[in-house]
Structure 1
């Protein structure tokens, strides 16, 4: 969990990034960072807090993940709509947002955790997949895509 706290950036760091992008005339980065700051403040307000307060690291991570998922969905939509120019722009924005997210785990690391939890919980069939999924996702703590984890768990349970 400490890795997430180090990677997440406070509102002040976002503002510093905005100032740096302004000085460097990096319009794409500026736009993305302003969007992240806006999403950050909107999250504060939606939780009934004042805009000048800070989010917890978990709340902050959720904001950044939501923004990244929106970009991923947009890329898919633009690719299927035959708009590669817009898809490329969204991918570039996604790369900037990824700087604020913890590094993704490899499939081998995920598989290792799944097998460890499967043995700990003594799970051998798909009936208890939800229990295994919950335990694995709790340990992974936002460092892997849930759909990938689900698919890997299904594969492991079906092959055992």
Structure 2
């Protein structure tokens, strides 16, 4: 079952149980997936792959995380709590993210294989790593680890 089909099924369940908060988030995600599908259709693709769908969901999760940070900095814990609840719903549809130790091991391996020796080689490392870890690890964490390992 694709992510899109799973969302549609869960929207029906949320409607039946009258879970308005969950329903709002699921409809928002479905809308974002449809927007992405329409933009891809213009470029010749018919339907989103699960990888593309995960990308859309990761972007939505990232937006929630940023909002949580901003609301907490602004002393608006009430709004941060709402965003946190939405984030938890979104994360149910995302694949399990890799742990930091596992990402660090892959980064070290890639640094060795490309012969990177310092911060000037960050681009040489980040490109292939992000291709390899797309949808499996957050870009911010990968970037932080690469910088640490390159001595930045």
TM exceeding 0.5: yes
Deviation at 1:99, TM superposition (A): 1.0
Asked if 1:111 corresponds to 2:122, the answer is no
Which residue of 5, 12, 15 corresponds with 2:5? 12
1:47 match: secondary structure? helix
**Gapped runs of 5+ residues in structure 2?**
none
Give the TM-score normalised by the residue count of structure 2: 0.89
Deviation at 1:54, TM superposition (A): 3.0
Deviation at 1:116, TM superposition (A): 0.9
Asked if 1:135 corresponds to 2:90, the answer is no
Asked if 1:151 corresponds to 2:144, the answer is yes
Give the TM-score normalised by the residue count of structure 1: 0.85
Does the 8 Å contact 2:126/2:146 carry over to 1? yes
Q: Which residue of 2 aligns with 1:72?
A: 65
Q: Which residue of 2 aligns with 1:126?
A: 119
**Gapped runs of 5+ residues in structure 1?**
1-5
1:89 match: secondary structure? helix
Asked if 1:34 corresponds to 2:21, the answer is no
- Residues 42-68 of structure 1: CA deviation (Å, up to 9, x unaligned): 11222346xxx6311222112111211
How many aligned positions are there? 149
What's the C-alpha RMSD, in Å, of the aligned pairs? 1.8
Counterpart Cα distance in 2 of 1:74 and 1:121: 36
